[in-house]
Amino acid sequence: MAKQRGDRPSVETLHDLRLADARWRAVLSLARDPIITIDQQGLITLFNPAAEYIFGYAADEVLGRNVSILMPPPYRDEHDEYMQRYRRTGEPHAIGRIRSVQARRKNGQVFPIELAVSESQVGEEVFYVGIVRDVTEQRELERAAQERARLADIGAITAKIVHDLGNPLAALSMQAQLILRRARRGDFQPVAPVRQPAEQILQTLGRLESLVHEFTDFAREHRLVVRPIEVGKLLQSCVDLWHALAVERDIQLSVGAAGPLPLLHADEVMLRRVLDNLIKNAIEAVDHGPGQVVVRAALLSEGKLCIAVEDSGPGVQESVDVFKLFETTKAEGTGIGLAVARQIITAHGGVIDHVPRLPTGTVFRIELPISGPASRG
């Protein structure tokens, strides 16, 4: 191709330039990653369609504006400084490396990105190209994978602990049962010195056994068996179990619904466990009456059902997270029951929390979607 001397470019050169330009435009349009160029002042000179999509700005909204608008603090305020320092010292900071930083969309959302920056020069004009990769989804997948690995570890550790604790417990229990049976049979005379300690041993073993069971429950995957449930009947039957104890302790135990209740899609066995736990806690909170424990259900507007268990006990301290594993305010509490309760409710797509009751006491509230837990794809 003959290069022409003179001021005006030849037809062929113009054609080549147009071709090169069209090529690059095609590439920029098609690229899935945001590609942005800025001048020496940091002003945006190019903003490809991917950039528009990822950042939420139309190109003409950002052209001519400082690129720092695409950054959240602290990068935002530092960027001008970086550019000046680079021009002064020639020491690159961002250029030539891929950095993990944060960016900011038009709607204010801050998101993680990987950024590559290069420098180019044509004549006196220096410009910088930045290619961005939105790694929001990638980070989320990494986090989810880490969480799954952590849970798998917990599962494996629990299986080991339960096996290693459970077996000696079972052996102790068997020996104690043997002693007791022999004592009752009259193999020892007098029997009381042997029978009583044997019974105490079995009682203590029973407590350890409960602890191991509860811990197993916590580590188990809660795969739900979801069926439509008549909430009113469920609550009544849960409350009935505690009726005798409540009467004995002079505690008023009642159940009610604020209006008609729809069928709730949930795992009845699991829900019973949660309610049983909450009612037990409520009764223990009141301890001895006079006092009240009220179990109530109400339909909330957004397709949610609220079940509340209220007690007139001393209330829960602000600083205590009762749902945290092993957190307990009870002398003989395991601190596992409420952690399991939260797991079960969360598995249903619901939430559980507690608020203080006036004048004293606590209300534990469960909110569950009526239609059941959302199916996972």
Partner 1 sequence: MVLLVDDDEDFRRALAANLVDDGHMVIDYASPDDVPPLHTLESLSILILDYQMRGEDGLSFADRFHVFHPDVPVVMVTAYLSRHLEGAAATRPYLVLRRKPVDYDELAALLPVRH
Give the residue with the Cβ less far from partner 1, 181 or 288: 181
Give the residue with the Cβ less far from partner 1, 212 or 336: 212
Give the residue with the Cβ less far from partner 1, 148 or 181: 181
Nearest distance from C-beta of residue 118 to partner 1, angstroms: 55
Give the residue with the Cβ less far from partner 1, 179 or 295: 179
Nearest distance from C-beta of residue 280 to partner 1, angstroms: 21
Nearest distance from C-beta of residue 215 to partner 1, angstroms: 11
For residue 180, the 8-state DSSP code is: H
Nearest distance from C-beta of residue 159 to partner 1, angstroms: 5
Q: What angle do CA 216, 294, 253 make, to 5 degrees?
A: 90
Contact 43, 67 (CB under 8 A): yes
Three-state SS string over 77-90 comes to HHHHHHHHHHHHHC
Give the residue with the Cβ less far from partner 1, 224 or 307: 224
| Binding residues vs partner 1 (CB under 8 A) | 159, 162-163, 165-175, 177-178, 181-182, 205, 209, 212-213, 216, 220-221, 223
Nearest distance from C-beta of residue 250 to partner 1, angstroms: 34
Burial class (CB in 10 A: 0-12, 13-18, 19+), 290: exposed
Cα torsion 321, 323, 325, 327: sign? positive
Give the residue with the Cβ less far from partner 1, 216 or 360: 216
Q: Which residues of 218-252 are buried (b: 16+ CB within 10 A; e: fewer)?
A: bbeebebebeebebeebbeebbeebeeebeebebe
Nearest distance from C-beta of residue 199 to partner 1, angstroms: 14
DSSP β-ladder status, 251-258 and 291-300: parallel
Contacts of 247 (CB under 8 A, 6+ apart): none
